[in-house]
Amino acid sequence: MMTKEQVLEKLKFDVELRGLSKHTQDEYYTKAKIFQNHFDKPATELGEEDIRTFLHYLTVEKGLTSGSVNSYNSGLRFLYGVTLNINLNCKQIPRHRRKRKFPDILTQEEIQTLFTACDNLRDKCILMTIYGAGLRLNEVVCLKVSDIKSDKMQLLIRNGKGGKDRYALLSQSNLEILRDYWKAYLPKEWLFYSRVNSATHITSRAVQNIFHKYLKKSRITKNVTVHILRHSFATHLLESGTNIFHIKQLLGHSDISSTCFYLHLLNIESLNATSPLDMLPKMEKSNG
């Protein structure tokens, strides 16, 4: 019989063996640990019905979002299917259908207000880099100085979502503030270092705190997270007429359907479209 710690060690070995991204490794490990601690038993003593009970608890009592519950689902399926080599009836542990709501996009004026509110060069540089290149949160925190390719006006994004490398857009304004930042802070390996642990990069939580600090300072009342900067990047590019296939490449989407979501966010006025009803020949008004 395995202990809780032995289960986690074997899981750690399995995710490393498959070369899963560091983010996925941490996610699976954390989810399995929480699951075992919830019942105070090793996973070897828990089964399908316990997984169902746990997922129901996360949904109903904890009130987690569909995306969060699905991340637990994925982690537990890996734990049992791979680490413990136990076949689960996946129909008994269904994934949530994600209800995707339209995010409250920041206008370009609000983006400018947010940047103006930044009274710290490092903080402003981080937020401008996220918006300027349309980066995910974990992508900006893991940037290295060597990832700035100023000769090609590109940022190298290493090990992005799905373990893929890609090049992101490096704008002239972004390059200029990055140069000012480099002169002031002289970063060596990581572009943005942690203030708590100077040996590693800034954490995702720290970037979230920075965003909300200046969101409040700029008096923007929209209920948004730092990821809205990536959404706004894509939407503003579409509104300016950039081809959606080019935006797909810049965002690092593997499926064009993910990028097409931004079509729903477009301001109708920016489409400059005419209804086909107005293209019909004018009809005489009836007297009735």
pLDDT at 262: 67
**Tens digits of per-residue pLDDT, 8-56?**
999 999 999 988 878 888 999 999 999 999 999 999 999 999 999 999 9
Reading the block at residue 238, the tokens are 């579409």
> Is the per-residue pLDDT at 277 higher than 70?
no
The model's pLDDT over 127-136, given as tens digits with 9 standing for 90+, comes to: 999 999 999 9
**β-pairing, 154-157 with 166-169?**
antiparallel
Q: For residues 257, 262, 264 and 269, what is the CA-based torsion angle, rounded to 10 degrees?
A: -140
Q: Where in the chain is the domain with CATH 1.10.443.10?
A: 108-271
Within the chain, all domains assigned CATH 1.10.150.130 are found at: 4-92
- CA-to-CA separations, 99 to 9, 65, 73, 137, 244, in angstroms, rounded: 35, 9, 17, 22, 23
pLDDT at 266: 63
Is 4-92 in CATH node 1.10.150.130? yes
282 or 211, which is more confident: 211
- 60 vs 97, higher pLDDT: 60
Residue 81 has pLDDT above 90, yes or no: yes
Euclidean distance between CA atoms 213 and 2, whole angstroms: 45
Q: Which residues are part of the catalytic machinery?
A: 136, 161, 227, 230, 253, 262
249: region left, alpha or beta (phi > 0 left; psi from -120 to 50 alpha): alpha
The 10s digit of each residue's pLDDT in 117-160 is 999 999 999 999 999 999 999 899 999 999 999 999 999 998 76
pLDDT at 268 exceeding the cut of 60: no
Is the pLDDT reported for residue 260 higher than 90? no
Strand 154-157 relative to strand 148-149, pairing: antiparallel
Topology, domain 108-271: hpI Integrase; Chain A (1.10.443)
